[in-house]
Amino acid sequence: MASDEGAYRQPSIDVAGLSALLDGRYRDVRQLVRTNLAQHHELLLDAETMGRDEFRDRVRDVVVEIAATGQTALGLPTEFGGGGDVGASVAAFETMAFGDLSTLVKIGVQFGLFGGAIQQLGTETHHKTYLPGAADGSLMGCFAMTESGHGSNVQALGTTATYDPATEEFVIRTPDEASRKDYIGNAARHAQLAVVFAQLVIGEESHGVHAFVVPIRDGEQVLPGVRVADCGLKMGLNGVDNGRLWFDDVRVPRTALLNRFADVAADGTYSSPIESVNKRFFTMLGTLVLGRVSVGGAGVNAAKVALTIAVDYANRRRQFASSDDQPESLLLDYGQHQRRLLPLLARTYALHAAQEVLVDRLSAVFDGDGTDEEARRALESRAAGTKALGTWHATRTIQECREACGGAGYIAKNRFAALKADTDVFTTFEGDNTVLIQLVAKGLLTGYSSEFSDLDQLGMVRFVASMAVDSVIERTSVHKLFERVKDLLPGGDEWSQEAGLLDPNYQQAMLRFREEHLVSGVARRLKSGVDDGMEPGEVFSRVQDHVIATGRAHVERLVLDAFIEKVAALPDGDNKVALGLLVDLHALSVIEEDRAWFMEHGRLTAQRSKAITAEINDLCRKLRPLAGDLVAAFAVPEEVLRAEELRSW
């Protein structure tokens, strides 16, 4: 943020105030979670010492105990024991990522995926029958969507649910090995019910993917016609019982169809308020948005744990003498060490702010009447993009922090082993990050307009190719964006070369310019590929890196906007000054990381590019004395930090 260099005075952080600011409107919920985490902190040790099945049962028991505190069902309707507040439910979930992550994921599977599917895809009878048990954990369920042969392409699932009008039943079948359900959490050991996604077939006609409630166990006994296999040891999250499921003509009553968006009458007549098969499919898939918002937030909070430990260690640990008559320097006094950790710390704050905005949008859409389809699709896109950035950030940050703690970072009790192993799958579950970023780009290129929401990659290529590039730009929200860029650049191109690097208008204008330029470039390339007679799949493959860069640029811009706006709204004071330094560090780091692109596109001179690097180093030096307080404000409970030795130098 703009600051008068001459008047710069090192701020002093009010840690409690900053912590309250981060906790925001869900402070009480987050504090409840902290209390629960502290109470069950020994789970982190159990994960290392217990056998697999023992630890799975232990995690299940703790999940049920925590459910009794009201923490886990905050998103379910109040009349069924829930809290009726989706935002609070996400806040609780992401805070839970400070602790054992098997417990976190088990909670996500039970209350988010299973409970959420019943709530959002089912109707009153389903709610009454299943939600009370789902909410208190007495009825364990699983969410059986993914198949071995169909990960990201859910529309191509192979499992079938064929309606038999004679008995008014659906017959659930796994036709081949590629169609077995795979990686399903809760399936290997605990789930009594499965919400199974399958192609609905009536007579000769397929109506696309629908969800059905299918009992799979009675107590510990697997039911006839169902086959279950354990996915076995995983890299991490071994407290979650992931399994595979096969269905051999399992019959369920007609009421097993979760029928909010489509129904089958006794005689086999199909009806749905949503006409298009594709649109119906994407409406149902929209229920995944909650999972994505939750996982992205969890990634950011896992990164907070890693940074808390690594910054604290770097503030205590000495290495090499800085001069012959002085003690060895603290690790964090080294420029390189600051460079490794502090931009990641700034990005963590930025992603936290972006997550807050996302959760607000989520609440608005969920509390609304659901008629604003464009808002819903914009939410889905934002959730997809924030999830991808948040989870990639977790992987990168945890790795960097582990290396920054040297050999000690490799010892399990110092937390990084589990943090790394458990979060690793975040980048590919609840939607593969690369696929999600493409989804963001697709939304951008089609302006979230309803008639194009259900397009796949090739549909997108054809759609874009069918229009003039200008009209693509005009249709998209990017057009409006770029108008704003022009407003922000009063003097035109020269201005952006002269503006202060710490001017937020400059920082935002840079990211907006990049986004607009990438969108129009990708539209042009898609169009000219098709115009040149290339096959759409080939066109897509060739332009794919450009598509992904576009999606990323869009989300990066949203993140920076969120962070800048959050800090700008704060009352003046030292905390605002400190967060302003983080905004600058984050914004300039994002620009620096892609400075080659900005130079290639005439937005940075070589000299200015070097000035950005120098400014980042300067910001790191200013933030260095604040780093300890900045991680303390995350308020990760002492009990779950462990790492006693790392933290006692």
Active site residues: 430
Supply the DSSP string of 576-593, one letter for each residue. Answer: HHHHHHHHHHHHHHHHHH
Among 541, 565, 573, 638, binds its own copies (CB under 8 A): 541
| Cβ nearer to its own copies, comparing 31 with 541 | 541
Q: Indicate the residue among 472 and 612 with the shorter CB distance to its own copies.
A: 612
Cβ neighbours for 371, distance < 8 A, ≥ 6 positions apart: none
Q: Report if residue 434 touches its own copies, rule: CB under 8 A.
A: yes
Q: Within positions 580 to 599, which residues make up the interface with its own copies, using CB under 8 A?
A: 595-596, 599
User: Shortest gap between Cβ of 421 and its own copies (angstroms)?
Assistant: 7
Q: Which 359-418 positions form the footprint of its own copies (CB under 8 A)?
A: 395, 399, 402-403, 406-407, 409-413, 416-417
Report, in Å, the least distance between residue 613 CB and its own copies. Answer: 8
Binding-site member from 420, 442, 514, 566 for its own copies (CB under 8 A): 420
Report the residue number, 427 or 496, with the smaller CB distance to its own copies: 427
CB of 492 to its own copies, least distance (A): 20
Taking the C-alpha atoms of residue 483 and residue 231, their distance in angstroms, rounded to an integer, is 52
Q: Is 533 in the site for its own copies (CB under 8 A)?
A: no
Measured from the CB atom, the residue of 562 and 585 that comes closer to its own copies is: 585
Beta strand spans in 185-223 (E):
193-202, 205-215, 217-218, 221-222
Cα 403 to chain centroid distance, Å, stands at 24
The DSSP code sequence of 96-126 is HTTS-HHHHHHHIIIIIIIHHHHHHH--HHH
User: What Å distances lie between residue 161 and 158, 250, 427, CA to CA?
Assistant: 10, 9, 31
Q: How far is the CB of 195 from its own copies (least distance, A)?
A: 18
Q: How far apart, in Å, are the Cα atoms of 370 and each of 44, 77, 273, 366, 410?
A: 40, 16, 14, 7, 48
Biggest CA-to-CA distance, the chain: 92
Distance of alpha carbon 5 from alpha carbon 618, whole angstroms: 12
Joined tokens for residue 417 = 């082993």
Binding to its own copies in span 545-564, by CB under 8 A: 545, 548
Nearer to its own copies, 181 or 376 (CB): 181
169-173 and 160-164 beta bridge pairing: antiparallel
189 and 51 Cβ atoms separated by less than 8 Å: no
- Non-local (6+) Cβ contacts of 31 within 8 A are 23
Q: Which residue has the tokens 């985490």?
A: 37
- Give the nearer residue to its own copies in terms of CB position, either 222 or 321: 321
Tokens standing for residue 222: 């697997």
Nearer to its own copies, 380 or 424 (CB): 424
**CA distance linking residue 51 with residue 49, whole number of Å:** 7
Residue 227 is a binding residue for its own copies (CB under 8 A) = no
151 contributes a contact to its own copies by CB under 8 A: yes
Place of tokens 């105990």: 65
CA dist 505 and 267 (Å) reads 63
> Which residues, numbered 628-647, are part of the site for its own copies (CB under 8 A)?
645
> Which stretch, 11-19, 165-173, 314-322, 503-511, contacts its own copies (CB under 8 A)?
314-322
Residue 608 DSSP symbol: H
Shortest approach of its own copies to residue 169 CB, angstroms? 32
CB of 301 to its own copies, least distance (A): 20
Q: Indicate which single residue of 10, 12, 125, 153 sits in contact with its own copies (rule: CB under 8 A).
A: 153
48 binds its own copies (CB under 8 A): yes
544 binding its own copies? (CB under 8 A)? yes
Residue 531 binds to its own copies (criterion: CB under 8 A):
no
Which C-beta is closer to its own copies: that of 219 or that of 327? 327
- Of the residues 19, 39, 129, 152, which one makes contact with its own copies according to CB under 8 A: 152
Rank residues 358 and 441 by Cβ distance to its own copies and give the closer one: 441
Distance from C-alpha of 565 to C-alpha of 504, rounded to nearest angstrom: 10
Give the C-alpha separation, 125 to 247, whole Å: 25
Alpha-carbon gap, residue 60 to 93, rounded angstroms: 16
Q: Does position 229 bind its own copies by CB under 8 A? A: no
Site for its own copies in 452-491 (CB under 8 A): 456-458
Pairing assessment for the beta strands 169-173 and 243-253 based on DSSP bridges = antiparallel
d(CA 649, CA 647): 6
| 334 is an interface residue for its own copies by CB under 8 A | yes
Nearer to its own copies, 261 or 513 (CB): 513
Q: Which one among 316, 339, 525, 576 touches its own copies, defined by CB under 8 A?
A: 339
Strand 318-321 to strand 328-330: parallel, antiparallel, or no bridges (unpaired)?
antiparallel
Per CB under 8 A, which of residues 612..631 are in contact with its own copies?
Answer: 617
| The one segment of 109-117, 150-158, 343-351, 441-449 that binds its own copies by CB under 8 A | 150-158
Q: Applying CB under 8 A, which of residues 2, 17, 602, 638 lies at the interface with its own copies?
A: 602
Candidates 246-254, 261-269, 535-543, 572-580; binding stretch for its own copies (CB under 8 A): 535-543
| Least distance in angstroms from the C-beta of 403 to its own copies | 6
Which residues are registered as beta bridge partners of 264? Answer: 270
164-193 residues near its own copies, rule: CB under 8 A: 182-183
Helices (H), 124-208: 124-136
What amino acid occupies position 602? Answer: G
528 to each of 279, 452, 532, 540, 549, how far by Cα in Å?
A: 28, 20, 6, 12, 19
User: Least CB distance from residue 452 to its own copies, whole Å?
Assistant: 17
Closest approach of Cβ 407 to its own copies, in Å? 5
Number of residues that bind its own copies (CB under 8 A): 76
- Does 232 contact its own copies by CB under 8 A? yes
- Binds its own copies by CB under 8 A, chosen from 4, 320, 490, 492: 320
Shortest Å distance, C-beta 176 to its own copies: 13
Is 277 a residue that touches its own copies (CB under 8 A)?
Answer: no
Binding flag, residue 156, its own copies (CB under 8 A): yes
| DSSP bridge partners of 163 | 170
In the numeric block, which tokens belong to residue 249?
A: 């003509």
DSSP helix/strand/coil, 569: coil
> C-beta of 627: minimal distance to its own copies in Å?
15
CA-CA distance, 178 to 505, in Å (whole number)?
51
Nearer to its own copies, 238 or 272 (CB): 238
The residue among 425 and 633 lying less far from its own copies, judged by its C-beta, is: 425
